[in-house]
Amino acid sequence: MRLEFLGAAHTVTGSCYLLETGDERYLIDCGMFQGPKRIRELNHEPFSFGPSDVAGVLLTHAHIDHCGLIPKLVHDGFKGMVYTTKATCDLVGIMLPDSAHIQKSDAEMLNRKGRRSGEEPVQALYTINDAMDALKHLSAVPYNAEIKLSDNLRVIFRDAGHILGSAILELYVTEGNKQTKLVFSGDLGQPDQPILKDPSVISGADFVVVESTYGDRIHQIYDKETTLLEVIDDTMDRGGNLIIPSFAVGRTQTLLYYFYHLWKSGRLDGDIPIVLDSPLAINATRIFLKNSMDFDDEALTLFSKSGKIPHFPQVHICETAEESRALNSSEGSAIILSASGMADAGRILHHLKHNLWRPESTVLFVGYQAAGSLGRRLVDGIKRVRILGEEVAVKAQIQMLDGFSAHADANQIMDWLSTIRAPRPAKIFIVHGEGQAQEALKGRIQKELGTEVYIPFRGDMVRITGRASSIIPSHIPAVSIEMEMEEILRDFDADYRQIRRKVLQLVVRQPKTMEPVIKAMMKARNYLKKLFAPFNI
């Protein structure tokens, strides 16, 4: 058999792997690339295989970086079924149409700009009709049941504990008289998190493909409810809004869960409005409540009696764009949860535009921010950003709370891998992470587990026979760090020009008092030295 790595290879997004066994081809995930422009452009490249030759897709979960290119796959000729859990089917049913609307909106905006400069029209990646056609290919499968896809391929979906419906895939491939077990982690969740069950323990595997989003980091262990309450109280005392860019699926529901506990215990002021301003998150929350069979015991106790969110008086839902716009002209302070989680699209952009310049407001990130995303730039301390065509000064408090992530950290990934013992993997492939995280995780696996590790590039292929494997290197140009650095340097250049202009204005006003300017420049030089210190430059 052959396994080809077509996405999430030396990047965090675009999850996609092509498995060839005998005359059959199956995709594991078919996700969209997200982040810097150069990486997003990969979505428009033709598939490196014939979509009509693919017998089926095995989908780990409903996040767009795992399912977002399925409409394109269907449009280009895919005829098979997309096998996934029931909850994932339900979530994909809202995620893909929403993604199609974003593709259409983005294309229309680019074409308005392009017409003025004489550029060729841009086509949307796919249409709403493509998304609706893709939904016809979904086939729901239960957790822990063996599904026979062909005479030589069986699959079991195990709970990954990442978001509702997320799955670890156990694939059993029979070739001749040899059977090989492949395990795809999908995105692993953290143990002991609200609502969801812990990631399933896998008894053994010949080969494992594992994510590494937090492969170099350990989530802080702290009282999340108390810390969240402190951020709320501090922002409300300053008279600002608390803006939370929140992933519509998973993170929003977890935050609502924490808010409910804080209010129920009398710690959260019942007069503070909590506004859910994301049609996708609203629909996703309703789907969560329809799939309570996948909840952990604590969440079942809380939700199952009525199948509805418990009575929670200060939660307000913005269904329409008009209601969303009205939030930015209303008086008083509020907590506003809005998508997207990396602040790259959606209604959150309007809330950031109206609040980033306000020192009294807070922008709180509670999840992973990919390199090149607006969220990542804000967390990294950028002072001016361009949002919806307007330059905005960043004066609001920017905070990041670790530990709310739906991804397992390095220790939790290692704990999960260490339970795979009968047999132990012959090789582990590390995907879905940035370079530093992948290298750190590779080092730990080799040292602590003694297992051979490979970090594939996009287009790399591995030939597998039983427990033996050989790597066929890719001829596809890698998505290099230079692409991400271009995005960073553009932001740096914009900041530099702003600083230079302000320094010149100071010098013009006070030409004889250069000493404070020189001191400030020396301080800036020290900042740069600290930036490059880890590289011994």
- What CATH number does the domain located at 224-400 have? 3.40.50.10890
- Residues in the chain, how many? 537
**Furthest-apart CA atoms within the chain: distance in Å:** 87
What average pLDDT does range 276-296 have in this prediction?
A: 87
**Has residue 241 got a pLDDT over 70?**
yes
List beta partners, residue 452: 427
Note the pLDDT tens digit of each residue in 469-499.
Answer: 999 998 665 554 545 565 566 566 656 666 7
Q: How many CB atoms lie within 10 A of CB 269?
A: 13
Strand 390-393 to 384-387 pairing: antiparallel
Q: Domain ranges in the chain?
A: 2-217+406-474, 224-400, 482-535
The CATH fold of domain 2-217+406-474: Metallo-beta-lactamase; Chain A (3.60.15)
What average pLDDT does range 148-155 have in this prediction?
A: 95
Of the pLDDT bands very low, low, confident and very high (cuts 50, 70, 90), residue 357 is very high
Distances in whole angstroms, Cα of residue 413 to Cα of each of 5, 213, 219, 223: 21, 10, 12, 22
Tokens 């716009």 sit on residue: 325
pTM value is 0.81
Average pLDDT taken over every residue of the chain? 88
Rounded Cα distance between 513 and 488, Å, is 33
Residues of the chain above pLDDT 70, percent: 89
What average pLDDT does range 139-166 have in this prediction?
A: 96
Out of 396-400, 428-432, 474-478, least confident range: 474-478
The answer to whether domain 2-217+406-474 and domain 224-400 are alike in fold is no
Out of 12-21, 115-124, 227-236, least confident range: 115-124
Of the pLDDT bands very low, low, confident and very high (cuts 50, 70, 90), residue 373 is confident
Residues of the chain above pLDDT 90, percent: 55
Dihedrals phi, psi of 244, to nearest 5 degrees: -120, 105
Note the pLDDT tens digit of each residue in 380-389.
Answer: 899 999 888 7
**Has residue 537 got a pLDDT over 60?**
no
pLDDT score recorded for residue 479: 54
pLDDT score recorded for residue 520: 75
Residue 47, SS3 per DSSP:
coil
**Has residue 516 got a pLDDT over 60?**
yes
Of the pLDDT bands very low, low, confident and very high (cuts 50, 70, 90), residue 346 is confident
Question: Residue 94 is inside which H or E element, if any?
Answer: helix 86-117
Of the pLDDT bands very low, low, confident and very high (cuts 50, 70, 90), residue 93 is very high
Alpha helices, DSSP H, located in 239-341 = 251-264, 279-290, 297-303, 321-327
**Has residue 116 got a pLDDT over 60?**
yes
**R_g over Cα of the chain:** 24
The closest of 126, 161, 170 to 28, measured between CA atoms, is 170
Query: What is the b/e burial string over 156-183, where b = at least 16 CB atoms within 10 angstroms of the residue's CB?
Result: bbbbbbbbbbbbbbbbbbbeeeeebbbb
Note the pLDDT tens digit of each residue in 171-230.
Answer: 999 998 899 999 999 999 999 888 899 999 999 999 999 999 999 999 888 888 999 999
Pair of tokens at residue 378: 């804000």
Rounded Cα distance between 499 and 528, Å, is 15
Rounded Cα distance between 139 and 133, Å, is 13
pLDDT score recorded for residue 497: 64
